[in-house]
């Protein structure tokens, strides 16, 4: 639907920034955001002429400004810190420069804060940045997890987070009441409709996307992701560093948003929506050289299909239908594939080792079968 819900202005801003990226498909974005092309080009024209003020009637700081006195820069630093108490010198210096205040060193920002009696605390900056491995392009990998659970005045909040590995763009930040497939799936569909499909998603071994009892076993949600064309991988057991960027995102989320109480899920979602907007479009990221995630993110060219597309295996594959309890027959032996694949067809492909097969469900390898091993 067209720019509906709690954050119409946020959606408009996100739309125009993506539409103005080099090589963007405006028509495709119109479909994903549920607006007509006339509306889209009107927004783009107003944005080019007036900036954010052209999208809505609200006060915004200009993106550029004339030279300011040191007192004005100091005031800018204090305003930025008041708005974002967890930001340190590096982030605030980038914001001041971006908003037209000129170049100010992070150490100068720290000095301004100290002179004005602002307690830096454990989140006040000065931590040394560190380099992480990242995928080469947006949508190569999305990391997905829950940020634990948070008590509400009524019930519990389970924040669902989905982060693009390359850009750190938060494609989903949802206030969930639980961690079930029924809750997660429609929220992923919402993200897929808006941003397209990633090539791969990484998650931990817990439900609803993993079966810890099977050691990264597949669940119904994982099977569905494979069916729509997404490769699903699970982190190594007891190795959360595999999802390191999402874990780091959780730290920022906890510090900057989850520290205050929420009455219910609606209030929590409003807060998460507001923070996601700041995180994606305004908050400088040290690992991105001070840029914001949307500077490096573009929507996927792989659109989400509302129906499961048919799939054909290769002519020389051994195709087997998985039985209700998760087993198939392979050269007279009964081998386990997994209950999540019940009634699905899998392909068994021989490897270079005699008696060893790899089982594939559609495009994804799901298990290696060794007929030489003794049966349980």
> Which residues are within 8 A (CB) of 196 and not within 5 positions of it... i.e. 6 or more apart?
32, 139, 299, 300, 301, 302, 303, 304
Strands 356-361, 364-370: pairing is antiparallel
Per-domain residue ranges for the chain?
Answer: 8-54, 70-123, 141-295, 318-370
Residues present in the chain in total: 376
| Separation CA 272–CA 266 (nearest Å) | 10
Q: What is the pTM of this model?
A: 0.74
32 backbone dihedrals φ, ψ, rounded to 5°: -70, -35
Per-residue pLDDT of the chain (376 residues; tens, 9 = 90+): 467 665 788 888 899 999 999 889 999 999 998 898 888 898 998 898 888 888 864 444 554 545 444 777 777 777 777 667 767 777 777 777 777 767 777 777 777 777 766 666 544 444 444 445 566 799 999 999 999 889 998 889 999 999 999 999 999 999 999 999 999 999 999 999 999 999 999 999 888 998 755 544 899 999 999 999 999 998 866 555 567 888 889 999 998 999 888 999 999 999 999 999 999 999 888 778 888 999 999 999 999 999 999 999 999 999 999 999 999 999 889 999 999 999 999 999 999 999 899 999 999 999 999 988 755 4
Gap between the Cα atoms of 277 and 351, Å rounded: 48
Nearest to 222 by CA among 62, 373, 332, 340: 340
Are 187 and 174 contacting, i.e. CB atoms less than 8 angstroms apart? yes
Distance, CA of 344 to chain centre: 29
SS3 assignment, position 239: coil
What backbone phi and psi angles, to 5 degrees, belong to 311?
-140, 135
Q: Say which residues have a Cβ less than 8 Å from residue 202's Cβ, sequence separation at least 6.
A: 141, 142, 143, 144, 232, 233, 234, 235, 242, 243
Helix (H, G, I), strand (E, B) or coil at 84: coil
> What is the chain's alpha carbon radius of gyration, rounded to the nearest angstrom?
24
Q: Tell me the C-alpha to C-alpha distance, in Å, between residue 229 and each of 89, 170, 206, 286, 305.
A: 42, 21, 22, 33, 10
Query: Check: CATH 3.30.420.10 for 141-295?
Result: yes
């Amino acid at each position: 639907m067209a720019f509906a819900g709690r954050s119409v202005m946020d959606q408009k801003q996100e739309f125009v920034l993506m539409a103005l990226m080099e090589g963007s498909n405006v028509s495709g974005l119109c479909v994903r955001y549920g607006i007509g092309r006339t509306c889209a080009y009107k927004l783009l024209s107003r944005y080019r002429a007036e900036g954010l003020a052209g999208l809505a009637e609200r006060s915004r700081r200009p993106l550029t400004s004339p030279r300011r006195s040191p007192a004005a820069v100091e005031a800018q630093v204090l305003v930025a810190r008041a708005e974002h108490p967890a930001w340190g010198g590096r982030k605030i210096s980038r914001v001041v420069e971006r908003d037209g205040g000129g170049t100010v060193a992070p150490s100068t920002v720290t000095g301004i804060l100290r002179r004005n009696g602002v307690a830096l605390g454990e989140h006040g900056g000065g931590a040394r940045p560190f380099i992480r491995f990242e995928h080469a392009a947006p949508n190569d990998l999305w990391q997905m997890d829950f940020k634990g659970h948070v008590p509400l005045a009524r019930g519990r909040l389970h924040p669902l987070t989905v982060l693009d590995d390359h850009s750190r763009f938060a494609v989903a930040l949802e206030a969930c009441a639980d961690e079930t497939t029924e809750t997660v799936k429609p929220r992923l569909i919402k993200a897929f409709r808006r941003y397209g499909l990633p090539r791969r998603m990484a998650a931990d071994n817990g439900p609803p996307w993993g079966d810890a009892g099977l050691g990264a076993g597949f669940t119904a949600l994982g099977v569905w992701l494979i069916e729509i064309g997404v490769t699903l991988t699970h982190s190594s057991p007891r190795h959360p560093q595999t999802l390191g960027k999402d874990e780091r995102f959780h730290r920022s989320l906890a510090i900057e948003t989850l520290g205050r109480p929420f009455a219910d899920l609606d209030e929590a979602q409003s807060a998460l929506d507001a923070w996601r907007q700041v995180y994606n479009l305004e908050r400088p990221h040290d690992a991105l050289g001070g840029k914001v995630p949307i500077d490096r993110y573009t929507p996927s060219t792989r659109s989400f299909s509302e129906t499961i597309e048919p799939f054909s295996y290769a002519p020389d594959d051994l195709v087997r239908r998985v039985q209700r309890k998760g087993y198939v027959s392979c050269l007279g032996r009964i081998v386990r594939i997994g209950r999540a694949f019940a009634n699905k067809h899998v392909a068994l492909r021989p490897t270079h080792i005699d008696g060893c097969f790899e089982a594939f469900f559609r495009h994804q390898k799901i298990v290696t079968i060794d007929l030489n091993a003794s049966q349980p």
